[in-house]
Amino acid sequence: MRKKLVVGNWKMHGNRAANAALLGALKEAGPWTAEVAVCVPFPYLTETALALTGQQVLLGAQDCSSHEQGAYTGEVSSAMLSDLGCRFVIVGHSERRAYHHESDQLVADKAKAALAHGVTPIVCVGETLAEREAGQTEVVVKRQLAAVIHTLTHCIGEIVLAYEPVWAIGTGLTATPEQAQAVHAVLRKQLQAASQKADAMRILYGGSVKADNAAQLFAQPDIDGGLIGGASLKAADFAAICRAAM
Ligand code: 13P
């Protein structure tokens, strides 16, 4: 039985006062039987770690460098994330693939760097609307995952995978539970061919998950929780999604 995982991706939102209010409200709303985490912007990691001390909610970041350390201005290493208490780091989010031209191989290298420091990478895959309409969904997500499998080899079982159809992110267009499950099943099969741990691995769905559609999505056999954008910024909504995963 896989324990459900709900992860809030704050993206580039928040400020110290708003974050404190949100984290305070989450503290009141718990506990949950699902695992819950928030992936916050780098500057707020330390303060969030402090706010989460003794709480159930786990800390995560939204990206990391593929490099170990060195002259890489502006980059943040996974060793630093580990040092700050991060349990998770999102890699390969479609916004980074699109706006920062991150390749499948770079995403895989970032996942490897994270694992090397005990930070669990949440590896995102997903197709654009044009790719879906061209019937390319499976080809795209399998190609994105294959790069990670090839790079991590026997460590692939340590990652969390997230299916985020690009057309569903921030658009209010959620994949139907059936559409999402179909892709999750394809991904699970690909993981099964690569790792004995595949059946214990969590595959999250992300893309316009809300309080009113979360339960149906999480009820699908291969959907093990969610990666939540907009709704993770409102404590009541995020808490309701966490409850839907219980
Ligand atoms: P929304 O929940 O705002 O659609 O964002 C999803 C996402 O990109 C999470 O990483």
- What are the residue ranges spanned by the domains of the chain? 76-239
C-alpha separations of 124 from 15, 119, 235 in Å: 25, 15, 24
- pLDDT, residue 174, reads 86
Query: Distance from the CA of 10 to the center of ligand 1, in angstroms?
Result: 9
Cis amide prior to 221 (ω within 30 degrees)? no
Active site residue 164: yes
Q: Which of 95, 102, 127, 164 is catalytic?
A: 164
- pLDDT, residue 88, reads 98
Q: How far is CA 167 from the centre of its chain?
A: 17
C-alpha separations of 5 from 37, 102, 171, 202 in Å: 8, 26, 23, 8
Task: Find out whether the beta carbon of 229 lies less than 6 Å from any atom of ligand 1.
Answer: yes
Q: Is the dihedral of CA 193, 125, 200, 81 positive or negative?
A: positive
- pLDDT, residue 1, reads 80
Q: Among 228, 232, 233, 234, which is best to mutate for testing ligand 1, by the most ligand atoms less than 8 A from CB?
A: 228
pTM above 0.95, yes or no: yes
Q: What are phi and psi of 38, to 5 degrees?
A: -125, 135
Q: Which of 35, 93, 127, 131 is catalytic?
A: 93
CATH superfamily of the 76-239 domain: Aldolase class I (3.20.20.70)
Q: Which residues of the chain have pLDDT under 70?
A: none
Task: Find out whether the beta carbon of 36 lies less than 6 Å from any atom of ligand 1.
Answer: no
Strand 160-163 vs strand 120-125: parallel, antiparallel, or unpaired?
parallel
- pLDDT, residue 170, reads 87
